[in-house]
Amino acid sequence: MDQRIERSRAALRTAVVQLLLQQPYDVITVDDITRHAGVARSTFYVHFEDKDELLRAGLAGPLDLLSQLVADPLPENVIVAALEQMLHVREAGVGILQGSAREVIAKALAGHLETRLGARGLHRPGRLRLPFPVLSHMLADALLAGILEWLLAERPMPASDLARVLMQRARAIVDASRTA
């Protein structure tokens, strides 16, 4: 990819995440994002359809990390580090997971989960008691709800404890959804 294109995309991804640390997703506009990124509005639309697509791109790494909870064993320290980072930006995390961005994030996480679960062959007919997309959305909602409640807690449990709970919750939901 052309370095200018990647620079513009990276600046836009960074801008939306930084703006989320300062204000609710609902009030962030494309103009805010482009101004913060230092790119023209037309440049934004060359790369992204709307701010939802940009949010999905900006959070692709963390969402992919969460989706790994249902794949091969993920080193616990990796998820703990990500959770501890979220705790440092707690207010923004709560805002993101309670506001209108939640729906965008949940759908994106469900897509990542579908990819991971599909790689394990669970997308094949007869492997699950419920439709494959339902499982992916159920998992996404469960993981995001757990993280949100943790962020809302007056005295959150250690990130290492939450990491173990999230891994167990994800595996339990997948296991309960399988046919014999």
Ranges of each domain in the chain: 3-49, 59-177
CA angle 165–171–173, rounded 5-degree value = 100
Mean pLDDT of 94-117: 90
Per-residue pLDDT for 125 more than 70? yes
pLDDT value of position 20: 84
Residues 6+ apart with CB under 8 A from 30: 41, 44, 50, 51
Residues 6+ apart with CB under 8 A from 38: 11
Question: What's the CATH superfamily of 3-49?
Answer: Homeodomain-like (1.10.10.60)
- pTM score, whole prediction: 0.87
- How far apart (Å, rounded) are the C-alpha atoms in residues 157 and 155? 7
Report CA torsion sign: 146, 151, 156, 159. positive
CA angle 40–41–45, rounded 5-degree value = 120
- Give the pLDDT band of residue 5 (cuts 50, 70, 90): confident
pLDDT digits (tens, 9 = 90+) for 137-167: 999 999 999 999 999 999 999 999 999 999 8
